[in-house]
Amino acid sequence: MFHLCTENIVLNDTIFQFEYIQTVLLGWLNTGSMNTARYWHTACILKNGKVLAVGGYNGISVLNSTELYDPSAGIWITTGNMKNARYGHTASVLRNGNVLVAGGYNDISALNSAELYDPSTETWIETGNMSNARYAHTASVLRNGNVLVAGGYNDISVLNSAELYDPSTGTWIKAGIMNSARDGHTASVLRNGNVLVAGGFNGSRRSNSAELYDSSRESWTTTGSMNIVQAGHTACILTNGKVLVTGGWGTNHRRNATELYDSSIGTWIITSSMSNGRIEHTLSLLTNGKVLTTGGYNSQFLNSTELYDPLTESWTTFYTMNKARCYHTASVLADGRVLVSGGWDGSVSLNSSELY
């Protein structure tokens, strides 16, 4: 794409005006690579605008390393190591700016440990342990600042338990029992403060059930079931408050179907399908209200991306990433760009990052 620019230059009190053509690059551009290749890690945006990548797996070993991406410089720098190596964990940015990492797997067993990252000192400290070890769970920051962890797997069984972390005390308390055990599900904090948990694997089959956690009553209630059975899907809250769920494992294949949850009536409706079925992909809400999905897997590792428009409820194919990847992360930066990092391309763990 080309953009016509005009610029004035003053020379010896005379103003000269000239025009020039500026090339504007659209699509995905490579940016600085991470210091360590990793997938099934987490990435979260700190209050200072930097992105913290945590843990993961590099194809050989589980990682306790973490690193920071500086959008202004386009580079990654290493920061403090966690006490425990882990992947399949969760990372949540607390009100005070610290990051809570909970659970995960260390290639030997599921973890109940949790740690806090302090961006001001770039160090990790251990905090209270969860009652249950778990990975492939979800974590949601509630309106009161507490963190709700739900479901997951503990090496023996899929869990229906939930716990609440209180940052003021650094401790966990039980948060009721979900109606269905599940891992590989999604959790979305709705406008009314409730948490919608949907889909996942219940130990014997993939599920289409959904339920709500009411933080004011500290209780779980069932809500409308999804039209499609799925696990390994992704979810995103739209600007209109509805929840968009995409892809995932169906009964026997990767799905391209998507559907919307309307919290005002507690039901799901099917919306238009993606061009590609995909699992372990990402969803990012852009500043214009559209939703970007990237990568994933569908009998092959994908570098394709697609854009969902909530106004027309339609998908369009979008710019192709430079690398196919799944189990990667996607972070919407303060300036609206999307940073995609790491992942697995079917052969190797990736340290590359790219920006849209």
pLDDT, one tens digit per residue, over 52-63 is 999 999 999 999
Counting other chains too, the contacts that 3-11 makes at CB distance below 8 Å and 24 or more residues apart are none
Token pair 């339920």 is found at 211
Residue 120: Cβ-neighbour burial (10 angstroms; 0-12, 13-18, 19+): exposed
Give 222-262 pLDDT, tens digit per residue.
999 999 888 889 999 999 999 999 999 866 567 899 999 99
For residue 31, the SS3 value is: strand
Give 83-126 pLDDT, tens digit per residue.
999 999 999 999 999 999 999 999 999 999 999 999 999 999 99
Rounded Cα distance, 151 and 134, in Å: 8
Q: What is the pLDDT of residue 77?
A: 98
Give 291-302 pLDDT, tens digit per residue.
999 999 998 999
Is the pLDDT at 165 greater than 70? The verdict is yes
Both structure tokens of 320: 């192709």
Is the pLDDT at 13 greater than 70? The verdict is no
- In which region does residue 271 sit, left (phi positive, over 0), alpha (psi from -120 to 50) or beta (all else)? beta
CATH label, 32-177, candidates 3.40.50.850, 2.120.10.80, 3.40.50.920, 3.40.1800.10: 2.120.10.80
Rounded Cα distance, 51 and 32, in Å: 13
Q: Are 149 and 162 in contact (CB under 8 A)?
A: yes
Q: Are 338 and 352 in contact (CB under 8 A)?
A: no
Q: Are 145 and 126 in contact (CB under 8 A)?
A: no
Q: What is the pLDDT of residue 4?
A: 46
Both structure tokens of 81: 């190591």
Q: Give the CATH fold of the 1-31+276-355 domain.
A: Neuraminidase (2.120.10)
Rounded Cα distance, 64 and 264, in Å: 42
Rounded Cα distance, 10 and 17, in Å: 9
The residue extents of the domains of the chain are 1-31+276-355, 32-177, 183-271
Q: Which helix (H) or strand (E) holds 5?
A: strand 2-11
Q: What is the pLDDT of residue 180?
A: 97
Is the pLDDT at 21 greater than 50? The verdict is no
- The pLDDT confidence band at residue 337, using thresholds 50, 70 and 90, is very high
- The pLDDT confidence band at residue 23, using thresholds 50, 70 and 90, is very low
- Look at residues 322, 311, 307, 301 and name the one whose alpha carbon lies nearest to residue 246: 307
Residue 206: Cβ-neighbour burial (10 angstroms; 0-12, 13-18, 19+): buried
Chain-centroid distance of CA 130 in Å reads 22
Is the pLDDT at 8 greater than 60? The verdict is no
Contacts of 114 (CB under 8 A, 6+ apart): 100, 101, 102, 103, 126, 127, 128, 129, 130, 165, 172
Give 315-328 pLDDT, tens digit per residue.
999 999 999 999 99
Give 193-231 pLDDT, tens digit per residue.
999 999 999 998 999 999 999 988 989 999 999 998 888
Q: What is the pLDDT of residue 249?
A: 84
pLDDT above 70 covers what percent of the chain? Answer: 92
